[in-house]
Amino acid sequence: MVESIKNGCIFCDIIEGIAPGSRIYEDELSLAILDINPFSKGHCLVIPKRHVPWWHELTLEENASLFRVAQIVAEKMMATLKPDFVCMYARGRRIPHTHIFLVPTYQGDVLDRFFNALELFQESPPMLAALREEKSMDEVAKRLRNA
């Protein structure tokens, strides 16, 4: 299933069973594992079994699998760990193999504080405020629709 295990990718090595990983759930295209540097108890990574740097480069089937596995694992987190919510975001920069972070998040914890600060930042700078203007929104929407 893995295209290139020779590239030194830790996620490819985990998928192939060469490197250890605490497997939580998997299907034929995706795997959920515990993160070895967790933000909170139960922090998981959901990775495609094929080595692809960015989630938007996955096939439709791989993308559907990735987000289906993420939902299944998030439901398991909600049932067993009882967080306020499960934070989800996609990465791939530091380790160039698509991975979705699933982090059980509680009011006042590090991610809650981070995203609260990010939302305040998003609402305040003049440069970002200009992006909310109708003309700017219409321009970007048109560009994205016509791409």
Phi and psi at residue 26, to the nearest 5°:
-155, 160
Write down the residue that tokens 């919510």 correspond to: 85
Write down the residue that tokens 């699998």 correspond to: 65
**Structural domains of the chain ordered from first start:** 5-106 (3.30.428.10), 108-147 (no CATH)
Instruction: Note the pLDDT of residue 3.
Output: 45
Active site residues: 99
pLDDT tens for 54-106 read 889 999 999 999 999 999 999 999 999 999 999 998 876 788 899 999 999 99
Instruction: Note the pLDDT of residue 131.
Output: 81
Q: What is the mean pLDDT of the chain?
A: 88
